[in-house]
Chains A and B, each alone.
Chain A
Amino acid sequence: MTATPRPRGPGSAARIGILLIATMAGGIAVGAIYAGLEAAGAVPGPLVAILALVVLFGLMIAGTLWWWRRADEAVREAHKWAWYWGGSVGMCVGLGAVMLANIYGRDAPIPDGMSMADVLSVGAMITLAPMLIGYLVAWIAWWFAMRR
Chain B
Amino acid sequence: MENHLKVLRAERDWSQAELAARLGVSRQTVNALETGRYDPSLPLAFRIARVFGLPIEAVFTDGADASSD
Main secondary structure of the interface of B (DSSP, over half): helix
Looking at the assembled complex, report how far the CB atom of B7 sits from the nearest CB atom of chain A, in whole angstroms.
15
B15-56 CB contact bits vs A (8 Å, 1 = yes)?
000000111111011011101011011001001001101000
Q: Contact at B38–A12, with CB atoms within 8 Å?
A: no
Q: How many A-B residue pairs have CB under 8 A?
A: 59
Q: Contact at B21–A6, with CB atoms within 8 Å?
A: yes
Q: Which A residues touch B32, using CB under 8 A?
A: 74, 143, 146-147
A73-B44 contact in complex given A2-B50, A4-B50, A146-B37, C-beta closer than 8 Å: yes
Q: Which residues of B contact A (CB under 8 A)?
A: 21-26, 28-29, 31-33, 35, 37-38, 40-41, 44, 47, 50-51, 53
Main secondary structure of the interface of A (DSSP, over half): loop
> A2-20: which have CB < 8 Å to B?
2, 4-8, 11-13
Q: Contact at A72–B51, with CB atoms within 8 Å?
A: no
Of the four ranges (under 10, 10 to 19, 20 to 34, 35 or more), the interface on chain A belongs to 20 to 34
Q: Contact at A4–B29, with CB atoms within 8 Å?
A: no
Closest 3 CB pairs of A and B: A146-B32, A72-B25, A74-B29
A73-B31 contact in complex given A5-B47, A7-B24, A12-B26, C-beta closer than 8 Å: no
Looking at the assembled complex, report how far the CB atom of B39 sits from the nearest CB atom of chain A, in whole angstroms.
10
Q: Which A residues touch B35, using CB under 8 A?
A: 146-148
